[in-house]
Structure 1
Amino acid sequence: MNRKPFITCAVTGGGGGAFKSPLVPVTPEEIANDVLAVAEAGAAIAHVHVREPDTKKPSRRTDLYAEVVERVRARNRSIILNLTGGMGGDLDVGAGADPFAFGPETDLVNATERLVHVQALRPDICTLDCGSYNASAGSLVYISTSDQIRQGAAHIRSLGVRPELELFDLGQVRFVLEMMDQGHFDAPTMIQFCLGVPYGAPADTVGMKAMADMVRGHDVIWSGFGVGPMQLPMVAQAVLLGGNVRVGLEDNIYLRRGVFATNVDLVGRAVTIIEAMGADVMGAEATRDLLGLPMRD
């Protein structure tokens, strides 16, 4: 059991939550305000996507990320900012006779283009998705090839940014362990187990334990989360297995059935679960020390 876990809050995400709940932040001001609020509620890390303010659609625009960062840093220098590096991996394979007739959901760019905003802003952390997977029951595939992962890892290291490795299934854990052995990541390696995402590892005890068992004995600091109704149960499961936790509206928009949550609600519920288990939530400054992240100007 982890007696001092830290909490990551994924405040908006790149999925459809903003079209389903009015409480998902959309504009840079709304996103920044939620980051500041979850910091007060107990989150040490904020995982940040941005959206087009007029359409709510997910975006890769550097100016939107810059506004979020500037607004947060004007009021809080301690909260750890984790900007996504995962946008730009969607391939909507042609469903008819021509698989190369890519559909409207395609947004596919190379490994370094996915990190343009990271290069410009140099956040504390950025994510690196470490494998491809079927992202829907239809023809949508998330693409992150072995070469793209290596290229992304090298580019992130060159920027002096800490990668958080997003792992969606057991084969991706295996690949990351090989990369660790080859020296691609500085120790301790920061890992996030992403459970319940179509169609990866399930958000249940078996799925999280299998992934945790694979990294046990390696120099890693890991977190885990479940999507949808399994988000809060996976808080307890991660702590029991020795990990850290992630909550937030990227992964779950409900506090309970039929009741929309805010990010502060979800962080507050995570704090309650952790403390009820006899553990203490680690604050942002202590988490910086744990991860070796100095304050940035």
Structure 2
Amino acid sequence: MSKVIITCAVTGSAHTPTMSKYLPLTPDAIAEQAIEAAEAGAAILHLHARDPQDGRPTADPRVFSQFVPRIQAYTDAVINITTGGSVHMSLADRLAYALEISPELCSLNMGSMNFSLHPVARKITDWRYAWEKPYVEAFEDSIFRNTFKDIKQILQVLGEERGTRFEFECYDVGHLYNLAFFINEGLLKPPLFIQSIYGILGGMGPDPENLMLMRTTADRLFGRENYRFSVLGAGKHQMPLAATSAVMGGNVRVGLEDSLYLGKGELAVSNAEQVRKIRRILEELSLEIATPDEARAMLGLKGRDKVNF
């Protein structure tokens, strides 16, 4: 079994400020939590941006530029810039910062889908900011769009033209087949980094049997030697599914984008706290943690010296 890559998704775009006072919102908070997560053992930092005034998701390159170069300066972690943004952003908005800096790694959702957490709005009565409730409720009638044409464009302008590789976010078995299609089209080559995702409303459920199905399907489509498998469990499923992935020879993703909690009823006070917990679990299982440079080699990345910071 190879070393385990820990990815930390620092803030995301789904959770809102009311849901946790520990969710990093400002450039300073995002940078500080990302740097601490890297120090705790995260080899990859998956990054979104927030409006510093009220914490709403933003794709503004000017906001990204207030924290990404700082993270790059203080850590050797792989910087992974989202191309997903949020369901309320256009493709042009979602790509703007990545096209500007040509990062080593970007996320890439492998299909259009319903993606929602609108039931959460029924549980909250006192919102910190006025934008939050309508934003969460709007998920009920929103679709995350990534058509075949959208995906092809991302692969060409970031992958072919800029040498960026991808964290392929797969929320269902069909997304693996979409990925196989683009390989057959000649737009991708190994090694692939497949982030399988469980427990999002609109995607695949968090049952361990689904994890097994995704892994065996990926084996059949790509050959195990041609990809790295990782697991994202949403909410309370974060740690159990991550541990299951590691035991199966896979990699793991944690962070406040995916879950606001450390344990039952206990909010995580930082991203690093989740990184330290999964690292402790992995080391108790006698598994070794990959360094950023080891992750670069495993994923075939171009190197931190070839980005435009």
- The one-letter amino acid paired with 2:44 is I
Kindly state the Cα deviation for residue 87 of structure 1 after the two structures are TM-superposed: 1.8
Q: Alignment partner of 1:74: what SS?
A: helix
Report whether the alignment pairs 1:274 with 2:282.
yes
Runs of 4+, deviation exceeding 4 Å? none
Q: Alignment partner of 2:111: what SS?
A: coil
- Which residues in structure 2 correspond to 1:90-239 (within 5 Å)? 90=87, 107-110=88-91, 112-136=92-116, 138-157=140-159, 158-216=161-219, 217-218=223-224, 219-239=226-246
The 2-side partners of 1:191 and 1:39 are apart by 21
The 2-side partners of 1:75 and 1:108 are apart by 30
Kindly state the Cα deviation for residue 19 of structure 1 after the two structures are TM-superposed: 2.5
- The one-letter amino acid paired with 1:296 is D
Q: Alignment partner of 1:202: what SS?
A: coil
Which residue of structure 1 lines up, in the alignment, with residue 265 of structure 2? 258
Question: CA offsets, 1:1-34, max 9 Å, x none?
Answer: x441110000100012433111111111111111
The 2-side partners of 1:25 and 1:65 are apart by 13
The 2-side partners of 1:264 and 1:240 are apart by 22
Q: Bigger CA drift: 171-180 or 45-54? A: 171-180
The 1-side partners of 2:283 and 2:61 are apart by 38
Kindly state the Cα deviation for residue 108 of structure 1 after the two structures are TM-superposed: 4.3
Q: Alignment partner of 1:24: what SS?
A: coil
Report whether the alignment pairs 1:247 with 2:254.
yes
Which residue of structure 1 lines up, in the alignment, with residue 52 of structure 2? 53
Does the Cα contact within 8 Å between 1:85 and 1:127 map onto a contact in 2? yes
Q: What is the number of equivalent residue pairs in this alignment?
A: 277
TM-score calculated relative to the size of structure 1: 0.89
The 2-side partners of 1:117 and 1:8 are apart by 20
| Gap runs ≥5 in structure 1 | 91-106
Q: Alignment partner of 1:281: what SS?
A: coil
Kindly state the Cα deviation for residue 212 of structure 1 after the two structures are TM-superposed: 1.0
The 1-side partners of 2:9 and 2:18 are apart by 17
Does the Cα contact within 8 Å between 1:17 and 1:253 map onto a contact in 2? no
Kindly state the Cα deviation for residue 292 of structure 1 after the two structures are TM-superposed: 2.5
- The one-letter amino acid paired with 1:123 is P
Kindly state the Cα deviation for residue 83 of structure 1 after the two structures are TM-superposed: 0.6
CA root-mean-square deviation: 1.5
- The one-letter amino acid paired with 2:191 is P
Question: CA offsets, 1:27-83, max 9 Å, x none?
Answer: 11111111110111010000000100111111101011112112112222x110001
- The one-letter amino acid paired with 1:85 is T
- The one-letter amino acid paired with 1:109 is S
Does the Cα contact within 8 Å between 1:125 and 1:162 map onto a contact in 2? yes
Q: Alignment partner of 2:38: what SS?
A: helix
The 1-side partners of 2:59 and 2:155 are apart by 19
Question: CA offsets, 1:65-122, max 9 Å, x none?
Answer: 112112112222x11000100125x2xxxxxxxxxxxxxxxx2423x54211001112
Which residue of structure 1 lines up, in the alignment, with residue 71 of structure 2? 72
The 2-side partners of 1:276 and 1:178 are apart by 39
- The one-letter amino acid paired with 1:197 is I
The 2-side partners of 1:275 and 1:267 are apart by 12
Does the Cα contact within 8 Å between 1:129 and 1:167 map onto a contact in 2? yes
Does the Cα contact within 8 Å between 1:7 and 1:281 map onto a contact in 2? yes
